[in-house]
Structure 1
Amino acid sequence: MIRSIAPDDTAALIALAKAAIPFEPNEIEELSDLLTRHFDDAVNSHDFWLTDDDNGLVSVVYVAPERMTQGTWNLYLIAVHPDRQQQGRGTAILAHVEQMLAKRGERLLLVETAGTEDFEYVRAFYRHQGYVEEARIRDFYADSVDKIVFRKQLSADG
């Protein structure tokens, strides 16, 4: 069941993210801060967090609009618990987000990832979902760690 996250999901969401992604401690702290700000400003917030709940959090996605654009959104986080990967969960929650945004008339969804060999499976996932590599910024994250930006058109206006 894909649903919006609730404040009570915070600890489980952070545990899921830690299990699925090799976050550094400062990145986990940033994730926690993002969740706190989201819930503190939920009334005025345009971003959204969704989870796939199957008697416990299985996947999570976080998207937010790109400032000063018309209809461009960023996918900042998508994670599937390692025990549930390769079951279509990531595909399902990403498709759900794309459909929600398209229904609202949004135009583009952007996602960035690292250009290292160990992230090839991530890039392959996005290509399989219809995303096209739009840009590469060399040495972005660190020396020899490029940032790769993927783009998907959500509406005919994109």
Structure 2
Amino acid sequence: MRHNTNLRIRAASASDLAAIEALAVAAKMFPKEQVGFLSEQFNAAARGAIEDACWLVMEREGAVVGAVNYAPEPYSDRLWNLYFIVVEPNSQGQGLGKMLMEHVENALRERGESDARVLIVETSSTRQYEGTRAFYAGLGYTKEAVVRQFYGPDDDKVVFWKSLVAGVR
């Protein structure tokens, strides 16, 4: 197990897009032919089409080993959505995903309750994502909803919820 030294979380730039897409493919989140939507989302955020969207990367010794994207959920009351998180497969299980999640949660808490009350995360119900669901539960997220057949006939969307406000459950 590697020590989590020499890690840096920073704002993502357009030059990181190929690495972010490669991580998503390597982690088997999306097939190569479908991963281009990540660049589309990044570019939309960069030109201001997705207000307050944040893309971050985690680097180890200059190499991108993780990435995350979150933004306010439209038509909600101070609710934010973690749209994407990935850690390179060889680094999974070393606490990098937890570090990214804590960074996001802390950044949102710093915005204050007047801007950020809740963070939700959505994932698949398939067996492939059992570890992902356990990861969110282990970080204190509550399974809040299931939208049946969202991703396909046998693939529901599972929504996890966490308060960003102290003392609110």
Query: Do both share a fold (TM > 0.5)?
Result: yes
Identity %: 40
Using the size of structure 2 for normalisation, the TM-score is 0.86
Residue 135 of structure 1 corresponds to 145
Give the letter for the 1:7 counterpart: A
Using the size of structure 1 for normalisation, the TM-score is 0.91
Shift of 1:135: 0.4
Alignment RMSD, CA only?
Answer: 1.8
- In 2, distance between residues paired with 1:107 and 1:136? 21
Q: How does 1:1-158 map to 2 (within 5 A)?
A: 1-25=8-32, 27-41=34-48, 45-54=51-60, 55-105=62-112, 106-156=116-166
- In 1, distance between residues paired with 2:31 and 2:19? 17
Secondary structure at the residue paired with 2:35? Answer: helix
Shift of 1:21: 3.0
Q: Runs ≥4 in structure 1, deviation > 2 angstroms?
A: 24-27, 38-42
Give the letter for the 1:87 counterpart: Q
- In 2, distance between residues paired with 1:18 and 1:4? 21
Give the letter for the 1:21 counterpart: K
- In 2, distance between residues paired with 1:48 and 1:26? 24
Residue ranges of structure 2 left out of the alignment (5+ in a row): 1-7
The alignment of Structure 1 onto Structure 2 pairs a total of residues equal to 157
Residue ranges of structure 1 left out of the alignment (5+ in a row): none
